[in-house]
Chain A
Amino acid sequence: MDSHAEHATDTHGHAHPELGFIRKYVFSEDHKIIGVQFLFTSIIFLGLGGILALLVRIQLAWPHAEIPLIHNYFADNGGRMSESFYNMCFTMHASVMIFFVIIPFLTGAFGNFTIPLMIGAGDMAFPKLNMMSYWILWPAFVLISFSFFVDGGAAASGWTAYPTISSVAMPAGQGLASPAAPGSGPGQVLWLLSLLCVGVSSMMGSVNYITTIINMRAPGMTLYRMPMTIWAMFITAILQAFALPVLTVALILQTLDKTIGTTFFLPDGLSFGNWSPEVGGGQPLLWQHLFWFYSHPAVYIMILPSMGMVSDILATFARRPLFGYRAMIYSIAGIAGLGFIVWGHHMFQSGMDPRLGTGFMVATIMIALPSAIKTFNWLGTIYRGNLQFTTPMLFALGFVSLFIIGGLSGIFMAATPVDIYIHDTYFIVAHIHYVLFASSLLGIFGGIYYWFPKMFGKMMNDNVGKAHFFLTFVLCNCTFFPMHMVGLAGLRRRIPDITAGALEAKLLPLNEFMSISALLLGLAQLIFVANFLWSIFFGAKASQNPWKSNTLEWTTGDPVPGHGNFDTVPIVHCGPYEYGEHGDKDNCPQTEKSTTPATH
């Protein structure tokens, strides 16, 4: 191991000539620049996804009102949003948030930025592959943005794109238009191609992360001295490497169904109006199996890195060792392992053999166990601590608090009989938003505030950050918590007009409350954007180790290290969490010899 690390530093260490602007900041091979590139594009797409979410919320609360600002676009519909446009909004909201925001944020931005720095390497194992993993996203950006302007609009069959509504095609020679839904025409094809590019990007990233973590750790950085962020990135990368090929295959099959008339997912005997496809023989359920075989592990890809970052942030600002370090690693591994055998819980009501559902239920409910262990360990970490309520710490604590809700509500859906009632209601919408917004995104915000000094050499404004946290924490509960209640009352997901059903109409007042909260929540994020941009240029200068943290990224010579990261190869002497017990000094960087007996 040691020789690898030294070799790596020799290659990437000092001998770089000065690069031009393009090679340094645009087509850069430096993992830190690539991480920041991922960060910026994710923030831009967060804005797009957020606007789509607000359009959805406006329609849900005021279903018969004119839509503000863009009502001219719907002149032939009385200024109101059309149903197909609504379907497009929530489909693209989910697709953008999952594939262009959360995953690039976590594995792209933070994975890239933290891995070499925190293990003491000069760069990734494959810097050129790393550069490609970012630039292959650009075709995806172009395709997905362009898809809003094609005939029929962007994809509108849900981010799950279940055939046959997504994939049925007109007879040869009649273009890409779909007989099932306007958005399932060219928009769907662009959606499929765009996701293919995202998948290739993630694949390149994951290969790189796995190799880097295995081969390029600094001397003394044993596996059990790695910070939780790196453990989480490592296990996430393995998840991606094994699950993504399946999604890629599924996307290609659906693209072929849509374009050249194959019928992988189209059975015999379909008919749309007066027209029936002549051939069939496919299986719509096959898509669901393939899709969820990736997309359930993807749920963990979207939460595990956040968990890792939160563990590091909690320990740093509690000035306490992380409680149960090994148990934390094993529980992440447990979640990831179980994550591969639970995909069927999305399909309890799908027509899959119900006996299979029983098996998937057992595995799914058992996933609550490692999640519970992690929560208890986070609580154990802050026990008897010296809690410093910085902005990143608040977001980490917010993560713990709201992940409890998101984790517990999952048990309801995992229980097959209970799922019969709450499947496809707002209860599941509440659950995913507690996990993805209130947990993953809060962890991401925490990570941005935490590593901002390392990325840009400046501090983000702490008071403004706290205001951002306060509003986000309160408003996201106002937005998402009532979804549990309306879901239990029978409100279906993915409907533009809630006054149609007997159970649903009375829920309008609660919907208005959620929508107003959502609009305010959206506005509150502008505080973050302002703070972020202002701090890059005018923020207070950061010191080398502003949080008095132990991990290696805070030991680089300059606050923002150049390409190659470390002037000399760091030598690791202790674990990452030795806080609080060193006499007059309350931390012990990993490069220093520990004065306390080893705990792990």
Chain B
Amino acid sequence: MGNKGWSVLFGVTMLACAIGFGISPLMGWWMPEGVSTHAGAVDGLFYLILVVTTIAFVITEVILVVFMWRYAETPDGKPPIAANAGFPSFLKPFERFLNDQHKVELAWTIVPSIVLVVIVFAQVNTWADIKYATRNRNDATAANKARSQVAVSARQFEWRMRYPSVSRFKGWMANPAATRKDFESFGKIPHFNDVHVVNELHIWKDHPVVVHLTTRDVIHSFNLPNFRVKQDALPGKMIPVWFTPTKVNCKWDESRQRYIDGYDPAGKKEKDKEYTWDIACAELCGWGHYRMIGRVFVHKDQAEFLDWLQKTEAEGTRRN
């Protein structure tokens, strides 16, 4: 390969990477649609960083490839340009600046640091909104503002969900002030008639939820990619996870006598992959880690959720 050929190799390879990345949204190799209230903010920050890094990538790789082309040693081993050659004409106006190493050094220190500081400060609020307890306080005294609660206990290799019984739930609704203590201790204190379900997280649209996350054996990670939610479950600790779903994906199926997910309410499609929302464990937890997958069911409103809760509770009672 000739001396200039190497710059072509670098250029083509980097261009191929850029094109591959560029077409991946069209190929479906991209983030799924966000279905929680904070997903838009997270994706926005992703795109902010993507824009900044793309600009940096293009500038640096182009300069590298151009320099490799321009300053390649000639085939007879001579320097490509004279040691005292001046700058190309379009850089002439900046000649004095470019000849001062300190100024150049200062410029490419200050400009990136400003960009990086902007990136940092753009993140802080969104992170706080998603994860800080102070920003996710629960108003237990007003039923319409109270978060729906689920206690999730992870174990090798499944998610065990605990919901309040219908009567406990209705008690909170009817008299939030009087039941406040019970409401707030739901995560820590199970009742004998709470409703237990494996691998199914049932919530309803546009209503905030808090998941009280625990594990009884090893570290798992409560990962809801479609909701931009991820939180490790840590042995010995209960960790709250807050989010609010914005889309419906389930309906009552008369023939099967149960609620099914993977349902697109707009297109009326069933078993739609885009409406199948996994709870896919994201922290290595043993041989079955890959298939430790639960599902999220987002009901259209509280009434439908209560209907599901009632049916599930009745089923459990029947079995007992």
Contact = CB atoms under 8 A, between A and B. Distances in A.
A358 B119 contact: no
Contacts, number: 292
Interface string A394-418: 1001101100110011011001111
A495 to B, nearest CB: 4
A500 B284 contact: no
A4 B45 CA distance: 55
Interface of A: 82-84, 87, 157-158, 162-165, 168, 180-182, 266-272, 280, 282-285, 318-319, 323-324, 327, 349-351, 354-355, 357-358, 361-362, 365-366, 368-369, 372-373, 375-377, 379-380, 382-389, 394, 397-398, 400-401, 404-405, 408-409, 411-412, 415-418, 420-421, 423-425, 466, 470, 473-474, 477, 481-482, 484-486, 488-490, 492, 494-498, 500-504, 506-507, 510, 580-581
B167 interface: no
B70 to A, nearest CB: 9
A278 to B, nearest CB: 15
Nearest to A486: B29
Contacts of A158: 284
Contacts of B236: 267-270, 280, 282-284
Given A358-B124, A495-B290, A503 B21 contact: no
A502 B28 contact: no
A180 to B, nearest CB: 5
Contacts of A474: 9, 13
Contacts of A272: 156, 217
Interface of B: 1, 3, 6, 9-10, 13-14, 16-17, 20-21, 24, 28-32, 38, 41-42, 45-46, 49-50, 52-53, 56-57, 60-61, 63-64, 67-68, 71-73, 79-81, 83, 85, 101, 104-105, 108-109, 112-113, 116, 119-120, 123-124, 126-128, 130-132, 156, 216-219, 221, 223, 225-226, 228-237, 239, 273, 276-278, 280-291, 293
Nearest to A495: B290
A415 B127 CA distance: 9
Nearest to B218: A165
Contact of B73 (A349, A379, A386, A498): A386
A498 to B, nearest CB: 8
B28 A506 contact: yes
A18 to B, nearest CB: 43
A319 to B, nearest CB: 7
Contacts of A369: 109, 112-113, 116
Which residue of B60, B101, B228, B285 has the most chain A CB atoms within 10 A of its CB atom?
A: B60
Nearest to A167: B218
A349 B29 contact: no
Given A401-B14, A490-B225, A408 B56 contact: yes
Given A473-B13, A500-B291, A489 B30 contact: yes
A382 B71 contact: yes
Q: Which of B45, B57, B232, B278 counts the most chain A CB atoms within 10 A?
A: B232
A498 B29 CA distance: 14
B58 to A, nearest CB: 10
A549 to B, nearest CB: 16
